[in-house]
Amino acid sequence: GENVEQHPSTLSVQEGDSAVIKCTYSDSASNYFPWYKQELGKRPQLIIDIRSNVGEKKDQRIAVTLNKTAKHFSLHITETQPEDSAVYFCAASVRSQGNLIFGKGTKLSVKP
């Protein structure tokens, strides 16, 4: 079945710097790749997603890139702010199934 690997597990940046989180997936039939932000004790919140027919998507300071050949996708956060501090999860969904397979998460700390 699908397996999603996420790196790094922790990431510390200075406010204003960029942060990049990378994920790889194993099943070439995966066609949907969302990213969730989870603050401590809160629900995971969808922040951006990308479908397999697109290579890049941007929403203000957040962007996601997808390389289907290499089976990896990345989250890019520019001009980081302290409120970006949270755990970020990538996930993949296989075309024939509905459920998401999640990476283990990246704890992002943005230092003022």
Partner 1 sequence: GAGVSQSPSNKVTEKGKDVELRCDPISGHTALYWYRQRLGQGLEFLIYFQGNSAPDKSGLPSDRFSAERTGESVSTLTIQRTQQEDSAVYLCASSVTGSSNQPQHFGDGTRLSIL
Among 42, 58, 61, 111, binds partner 1 (CB under 8 A): 42
Give the binding range for partner 1 (CB under 8 A) out of 19-27, 37-45, 63-71, 78-86. 37-45
Radius of gyration of the chain (CA): 13
Q: Does 98 bind partner 1 (CB under 8 A)?
A: yes
Cis ω for the linkage preceding 8 (within 30 of 0): yes
How far apart (Å, rounded) are the C-alpha atoms in residues 102 and 90? 6
3-state secondary structure 5-61: EEECCEEEEECCCCEEEEEEECCCCEEEEEEEEECCCCCCEEEEEEECCCCEEEECC
Report the nearest approach of partner 1 to the CB of residue 33 (Å): 9
What is the footprint of partner 1 within residues 60-89 (CB under 8 A)? 89
Q: Does 110 bind partner 1 (CB under 8 A)?
A: no
Q: Does 109 bind partner 1 (CB under 8 A)?
A: no
Report the nearest approach of partner 1 to the CB of residue 101 (Å): 7
Residues in contact with partner 1 by the rule CB under 8 A: 6, 31-32, 34, 36, 42-46, 49, 51, 89, 91, 93-105
